[in-house]
């Protein structure tokens, strides 16, 4: 339903992913007294819908229509600019970068990296390729290594963002979207590899466990747990409701797969 509304309002046009359709957006543009703010609100709405679509598609075999984010796509401005009373006055530099905010980082992760995980799982389901085979393991490991590279870029980007936006805030790395991005990244690793991990005694499996998958899934769970344990009371009040999904995925892995 959200995607239908997004399509009806022409929000993909605002994000630079489709050609303009004046019949969908011109009337509302003309009616608003602050077109720049209205434009940014629609942009954030579009990407939030696409981000949620990508998150909840992980592990499903169904097709999703989440677009790949081209380099020229318009992403939300930085949070420091958006928090200003007049965020788009000429004296303020406008930032529209892939790593200009925790929100933009989460968009990039969900629509590009998690989209790649989903498409890999979907292609395996469609072709009937055997899980656990050498070819599958090779492809899965390459994808996991891609996520590891993204993690390193993410950590560096977070430090740059903190130094730029809030250098005096010792707790800045617990910003809700930064926490959510970290946890979704770990959820992606678990979702990708958990089918090849060890099962508890007495539970049959069609595949032999893969030590690489065991190690990577355990690392993802521990990394997520370490991040969540650092959350203080105010962080819990302000965190994204979507955080429950990666927590559930990690908990299910521990309870259902790791032998006790």
Sketch the domain layout of the chain as residue ranges.
Answer: 35-59+74-256
Q: State yes or no: pLDDT of 106 exceeds 60.
A: yes
> How does pLDDT run across 54-96, given as a tens digit for each residue?
888 887 766 665 555 555 567 887 777 777 766 665 544 445 4
Q: d(Cα 221, Cα 56) in Å, to the nearest integer?
A: 19
Per-residue CA distances from 108 to 22, 163, 186 (Å) = 27, 21, 15
Closest Cα partner for 189 from 197, 199, 178?
A: 197
Span 188-215, mean pLDDT? Answer: 79
Q: Can you give the pLDDT at residue 1?
A: 60
Q: Where are the alpha helices (DSSP H) in 87-173?
A: 102-108, 114-127, 134-165
How would residue 27 be classed by pLDDT, with cut points 50, 70 and 90? very low
Q: d(Cα 245, Cα 190) in Å, to the nearest integer?
A: 12
Q: Can you give the pLDDT at residue 20?
A: 42
Q: State yes or no: pLDDT of 202 exceeds 80.
A: no
Q: Can you give the pLDDT at residue 100?
A: 81
How would residue 19 be classed by pLDDT, with cut points 50, 70 and 90? very low
Percent of the chain topping pLDDT 90: 35
241 or 12, which is more confident?
Answer: 241
> How does pLDDT run across 114-127, given as a tens digit for each residue?
989 998 988 887 77
How would residue 43 be classed by pLDDT, with cut points 50, 70 and 90? confident
Span 195-219, mean pLDDT? Answer: 77
């Amino acid at each position: 339903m959200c995607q239908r509304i997004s399509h009806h309002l022409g929000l993909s046009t605002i994000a630079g992913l489709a050609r303009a359709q004046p019949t969908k957006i011109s009337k509302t543009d003309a009616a608003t007294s602050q077109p720049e703010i209205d434009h940014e609100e629609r942009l954030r709405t579009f990407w939030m819908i696409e981000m949620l679509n990508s998150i909840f598609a992980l592990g499903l075999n169904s097709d999703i229509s989440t677009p790949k984010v081209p380099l020229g796509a318009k992403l939300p401005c930085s949070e420091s600019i958006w928090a200003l009373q007049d965020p788009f006055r000429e004296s303020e530099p406008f930032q529209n970068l892939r790593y200009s905010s925790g929100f933009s980082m989460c968009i990039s992760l969900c629509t590009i990296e998690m989209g790649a995980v989903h498409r890999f799982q979907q292609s395996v389901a469609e072709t009937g390729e055997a899980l656990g085979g050498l070819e599958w393991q090779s492809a899965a490991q390459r994808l996991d290594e891609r996520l590891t590279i993204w993690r390193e870029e993410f950590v560096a980007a977070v430090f740059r963002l903190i130094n730029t936006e809030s250098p005096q805030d010792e707790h800045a790395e617990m910003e809700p979207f930064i926490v959510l991005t970290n946890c979704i990244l770990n959820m992606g690793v678990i979702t990708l590899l958990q089918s090849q991990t060890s099962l508890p005694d007495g539970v049959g499996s069609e595949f032999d466990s893969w030590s690489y998958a065991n190690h990577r899934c355990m690392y993802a769970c521990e990394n997520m747990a370490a991040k969540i344990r650092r959350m203080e009371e105010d962080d819990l009040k302000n965190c994204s409701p979507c955080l429950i999904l990666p927590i559930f995925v990690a908990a299910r892995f521990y309870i259902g797969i790791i032998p006790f």
